[in-house]
Amino acid sequence: MTVQPTQTTALERGRDLIARMNPDLERVLAERYDEHLPGFAETLIEQAYGRHYARDGLDLKTRQIATVAALTALGGQTGPQLAINIEHALAAGASEREVLEVIYQMAIYGGMPAAINGLNTAIALFEERRKTASSSPR
C-alpha cells in the first residue's frame, strides 16, 4: 500500500500527539531503552500513541482517564506509568479532581490497596507540579 502525501503515518500521528502532551517523551524513552532495544521508543510512540490514542471515537481526555483507571486497577507496580499518564490526562484537559475521582472509583475493581497506591502517585505528582510552578520565574 502506498502512503499518499496527505496521509499521515501512525508514527507521525503519535509524534503529533506527544508534542502536545509530553514533548520530551520519545527522547526520554530512547535514552532509557534504545541502547538495549533499538527502536523501542519509536515503536511505543507509533503503536500506543499513533494507533491507539490518536484514534477517532473517544476524545483524548477520555482515553487518558481510561488509561489512568486501568493502570490504577492493575496496582502499585504501574506507578511510573501511572504518573506519566496522569500528566498526560492533565495535559488533555482533565482536572486534578477528575483524576482523583477515577482513581478512587478503581477501589471497587482493583481493591483499596490499588486505589491507595494510585492516590499516592497522583498526590505526589500534584505536589511536585505545584512546587515546580511556584519556583518557576513568572
pLDDT tens readout for residues 88-130: 999 999 999 999 999 999 999 999 999 999 999 999 999 999 9
pLDDT band at residue 138 under the 50/70/90 scheme: low
In a domain, 119, yes or no: yes
Give yes or no: residues 45 and 88 share one domain: no
Give yes or no: residues 82 and 63 share one domain: yes
Rounded to whole angstroms, the Cα distance separating 102 from 106 reads 6
Give yes or no: residues 74 and 104 share one domain: yes
**Mean pLDDT score across all residues of the chain:** 93
pLDDT band at residue 135 under the 50/70/90 scheme: confident
Range of the domain at 96: 59-133
Lowest pLDDT segment from 1-5, 8-12, 27-31, 69-73: 1-5
pLDDT band at residue 8 under the 50/70/90 scheme: confident
pLDDT at residue 3, as a whole number: 44
Give yes or no: residues 76 and 36 share one domain: no
In order of 3, 32, 138, the CA distances from 40 in angstroms are 23, 10, 37
In a domain, 39, yes or no: yes
Give the residue among 87, 85, 101, 92 at the shortest CA–CA distance from 62: 92
Count how many domains the chain has: 2
pLDDT band at residue 85 under the 50/70/90 scheme: very high
pLDDT at residue 136, as a whole number: 73
In a domain, 4, yes or no: no
Contact 26, 41 (CB under 8 A): yes
- The residue assigned the cell 499513533 is 50
Instruction: Give the torsion through C-alpha atoms of 95, 99, 102, 103, to 10 deg.
Output: -160
Give yes or no: residues 49 and 66 share one domain: no
In a domain, 42, yes or no: yes
pTM metric for this prediction: 0.87
- The residue assigned the cell 493502570 is 71
In a domain, 138, yes or no: no
Give yes or no: residues 68 and 126 share one domain: yes
The 10s digit of each residue's pLDDT in 65-74 is 999 999 999 9
The enclosing domain of 102 has a CATH number of 1.20.1290.10
